[in-house]
Amino acid sequence: MQGGATIAGIARRSVIVLLWSLMCAVCLLPSPTHGNGETGAQAAARRAMVAGLRAEAGVPGMRTHIDDDVLAVLGKVPRHRFVPANQQRHAYENRPLSIGQGQTISQPYIVALMTSLVAPQAGQKILEIGTGSGYQAAVLAEFGAQVYTIEIIDALAVQAALQLRHYPNVQTRIGDGYHGWADAAPFDAIVVTAAAASIPPPLVAQLKPGGRMVIPVGSVFFTQTLMLVEKDIDGDVRTRQVLPVRFVPLTGKH
């Protein structure tokens, strides 16, 4: 996937991170398994993750604000099921994790922020570019949207489809996300989880008037910028910068 993390922020949130780490350390003590196959420790660690994100949520109306309904969804989706077994003990830490194939699952804060920026709603059609582990698609699906997600790496796409089988409102595809999913367009929102050198014109074309797209833009070797792209009801497009990020590059033939 196509994971991402903020470049700055660890230092200014050092106290939160320290408290979060202590909470997670307690959460990882042995505990019984729940009926859904999740341990009490995993459930507690997820609650601690959400508490940490809530402390970072920011002021409503600000471009880096995380919505309460997004935090509620992150409190439901079991992130540990979307990471390899050797990473599960770190699943609820606020950082990206390797999922193999040179890809990562995004930092929870970034997932929460990108989801807040596109403001998913029940009944919408949402396109995700870069399925990766399937975690972001699962988060979007929890809102009741119809999610179309594309992954270019076969092995990741197959594994993600298996993890997402419990979501009947998610469709997966193996392919080059740069060109979008034309036969399902237009979309109310598009979430791109890999950095493009510039905003792909096919994705702009597939965005519905009134829709939003969030995408990291920039070179893998330099600072990238998370961008919010909005298309108004007349089809005019405007963009604004959100914050500096670091994502793996968008790959494919383009």
β-pairing, 125-129 vs 103-105, is unpaired
Helix, strand, or coil (residue 190):
strand
Of 39, 50, 37, which Cα lies nearest the Cα of 76? 50
Neighbouring C-beta atoms of residue 238, cutoff 10 Å: 9
Q: DSSP secondary-structure letter at 222?
A: S
21 counts as catalytic:
no
CA 240/CA 252 separation, integer angstroms: 26
Amino acid identity at 98: S
Q: Which of 31, 106, 116, 198 is catalytic?
A: 106
CA 49/CA 116 separation, integer angstroms: 17
What lies within 8 Å, CB to CB, of 150 at 6+ separation is: 127, 128, 129, 130, 131, 172, 173, 174, 175, 176, 177, 180, 181
Catalytic residue positions?
A: 106
